[in-house]
């Protein structure tokens, strides 16, 4: 027993803070939706058939303002737009902080196939009344309750078991200490092949290998990916029957950033595997026999280069300095980025103070949506980039490489100033286009899944 006069107030406070947190999240989602709808209306839906369409332009602005990735910005836009246009009654309840974001995610997914506004209105009213009591329920239970509402009014809109296959995917996430965690969802047959493949490789060493079966299976992931049939044995016995097992070889490339001392073994400072975290010096030494070591030039070794394409030396420096896309909030890794001229070539030189990394989408935005009414960017000698949005808001990003290795943040010198003519008003004509607009793709997916549901219902009419 305890005296509830004071202690219980902490429970009350925790509950109120939770509700305030939910309210804050809800208002963020709704305001993102309002911004998206208003900004797309301002754009006049003029870019719907471009790869960088209205949606991408709105996501770029929202992501820069909130400091979040393009993917998270797109998610916020989707959630906010659907709340405002499809679930207005539920949106009003959601804004009060009585419904958790997790509940919203399930609701949006389970109602995505409803196309009739009258049906949507019925479901919206029911959700506004029922959802506040669902916060303690599991995702599966919430999905069942939403499906139960839908099945009577629009059975073709109930998402069926095959949806699990559409959610297949593999995620590789860093967890620190030079390790990552691999998890995902694949077809059962493919999973069985993968499982047995790891077992088969783990058994190719001799009985004296010091690793456990789980450790050998983990070490076999690389070998399996590279198509190897054996893994090296670590028993250190010259007469080992598995001594001929070679380390797997392949053409998959990863880039690890390390100081020279780490590579030579003179230092135990760790290296960095961009996107995955710290790599211990011992792991670097294990990689070296199968790695190509390419020194990164010092800043004072670089200058202007002739031509549009940077030399390998300059490109290596820019990639190691920047590591990721330089757009505010974007974390696209170097492998998915282009080397962009901040002042367009040939007006701006191929110089380290005028080149940086942009992922393909943000590169296209900078190229075809720049100038008056669009984005502008400026690069400083230390790699700092300042972007000005169409709204006039200014954002600054610094290169990630300098956070790990300060020598990469050394200024690379000035290259002068050049008067650049204004961009052509017809530049959008050269922008890459979509075969189908985003709205057409969404309508196609919904119609396709509803058609499959209709076929199931006709083949197995109620009672099921």
Say yes or no: 111 and 13 in one domain. Answer: yes
pLDDT of residue 11: 87
- Model pLDDT, residue 378: 92
Q: 54 and 29, same structural domain?
A: yes
Do 42 and 98 fall within a single domain?
A: yes
Question: Is the CB of residue 240 less than 8 Å from the CB of residue 206?
Answer: yes
Nearest to 332 by CA among 252, 379, 274: 274
Residues 366 and 240 in one domain: no
Indicate whether 281 and 304 sit together in one domain. no
Average pLDDT over residues 274-292: 79
The pLDDT of residue 264: 84
Mean residue pLDDT across the chain: 86
At residue 396, φ and ψ (nearest 5 deg) are -125, 135
- Out of 268-277, 348-357, 361-370, least confident range: 268-277
Least confident of 121-125, 329-333, 458-462: 458-462
In a domain, 103, yes or no: yes
**Domain final position from 118, 141, 164:** 164
| Residue 310 and residue 420 in one domain | yes
Average pLDDT score over residue span 260-266 = 84
Note the pTM of the prediction, 2 decimals: 0.80
**Do 172 and 312 reside in the same domain of the chain?**
no
- The C-alpha angle with vertex 246 and arms to 242 and 250, in degrees rounded to 5, equals 150
Quickly state the pLDDT bin for 377 (edges 50, 70, 90): very high
| Residue that finishes a domain, picked among 193, 226, 252 | 252
In this prediction, residue 296 carries a pLDDT of 84
Residue 209, pLDDT score: 79
310 and 410 in a single domain? The answer is yes
Does residue 408 surpass a pLDDT of 60? yes
* H or E stretch at 387: strand 385-388
**Tally of domains in the chain:** 4
Instruction: Kindly state whether residues 15 and 118 are assigned to the same domain.
Output: yes
Domain that holds residue 63: 9-164
444 part of a folded domain: no
Q: Is residue 360 part of a domain?
A: yes
pLDDT one-digit tens code per residue, 202-223: 888 887 778 888 888 888 888 8
Taken in order 379, 380, 384, 389, the sign of the CA dihedral is negative
User: Is residue 2 a part of any domain in this protein?
Assistant: no
Give the ranges where 186-258 is alpha helix by DSSP (H): 188-202, 213-225
Same structural domain, 230 and 351: no
Q: Are both 202 and 90 inside the same structural domain?
A: no
C-alpha–C-alpha distance, residues 311 and 367, integer Å: 22
pLDDT class of 87 with cuts at 50, 70, 90: very high
Mean pLDDT of 309-314: 91
Contact (Cβ atoms closer than 8 angstroms) between residue 165 and residue 143: no
Helix (H, G, I), strand (E, B) or coil at 266: coil
399 vs 335: CA distance, rounded Å? 16
pLDDT band at 276 (very low <50, low <70, confident <90, very high): confident
Domain shared by 38 and 85, yes or no: yes
pLDDT in the model for residue 280: 83
Tell me if 451 is assigned to some domain.
no
């Amino acid at each position: 027993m305890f005296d509830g006069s004071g202690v219980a107030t902490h429970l009350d406070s925790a509950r109120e803070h939770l509700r305030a947190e939910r309210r804050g999240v809800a208002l963020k989602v709704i305001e993102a939706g309002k911004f998206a709808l208003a900004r797309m209306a301002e754009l006049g839906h003029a870019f719907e058939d471009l790869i960088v369409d209205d949606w991408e332009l709105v996501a770029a602005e929202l992501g820069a303002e909130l400091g979040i990735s393009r993917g998270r910005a797109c998610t916020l836009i989707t959630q906010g737009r659907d709340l405002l246009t499809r679930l207005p009654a539920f949106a009003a309840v959601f804004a009060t902080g009585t419904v958790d974001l997790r509940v919203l995610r399930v609701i949006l997914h389970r109602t995505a196939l409803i196309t009739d506004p009258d049906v949507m209105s019925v479901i919206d009213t029911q959700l506004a009344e029922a959802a506040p009591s669902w916060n303690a329920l599991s995702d599966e239970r919430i999905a069942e309750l939403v499906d139960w509402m839908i099945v009577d009014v629009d059975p073709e809109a109930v998402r069926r078991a095959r949806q699990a296959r559409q959610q297949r995917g593999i995620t590789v996430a860093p967890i620190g200490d030079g390790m990552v965690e691999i998890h995902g969802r694949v077809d059962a047959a493919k999973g069985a092949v993968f499982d047995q493949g790891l077992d088969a490789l783990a058994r190719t060493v001799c009985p004296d290998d010091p690793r456990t079966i789980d450790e050998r299976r983990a070490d076999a992931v690389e070998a399996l990916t590279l198509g190897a049939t054996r893994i090296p044995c670590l028993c250190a016995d010259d007469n080992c029957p598995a001594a001929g097992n070679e380390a797997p070889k392949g053409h998959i490339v990863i880039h690890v950033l390390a100081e020279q001392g780490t590579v030579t073994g003179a230092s135990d400072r760790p290296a960095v595997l961009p996107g995955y975290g710290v790599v211990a010096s011992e792991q670097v030494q294990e990689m070296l026999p199968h790695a190509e070591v390419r020194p990164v030039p010092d800043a004072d070794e670089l200058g202007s280069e002739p031509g549009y394409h940077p030399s390998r030396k300059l490109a290596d420096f820019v990639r190691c300095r920047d590591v990721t896309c330089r757009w505010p909030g974007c974390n696209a890794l170097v492998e998915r980025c282009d080397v962009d001229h901040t002042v367009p070539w040939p007006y701006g030189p191929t110089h380290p103070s005028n080149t940086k990394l942009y992922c393909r989408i943000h590169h296209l935005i900078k190229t075809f949506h720049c100038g008056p009414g669009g984005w502008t960017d400026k690069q400083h000698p230390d790699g700092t980039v300042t972007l000005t949005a169409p709204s006039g808001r200014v954002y600054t990003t610094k290169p990630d490489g300098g956070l790990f290795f300060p020598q990469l943040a050394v200024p690379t010198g000035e290259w002068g100033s050049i008067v650049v003519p204004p961009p052509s008003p017809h530049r959008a004509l050269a922008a890459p286009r979509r075969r189908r607009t985003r709205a057409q793709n969404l309508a196609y997916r919904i119609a396709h899944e509803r058609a499959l549901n209709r076929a199931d219902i006709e083949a197995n009419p109620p009672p099921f």
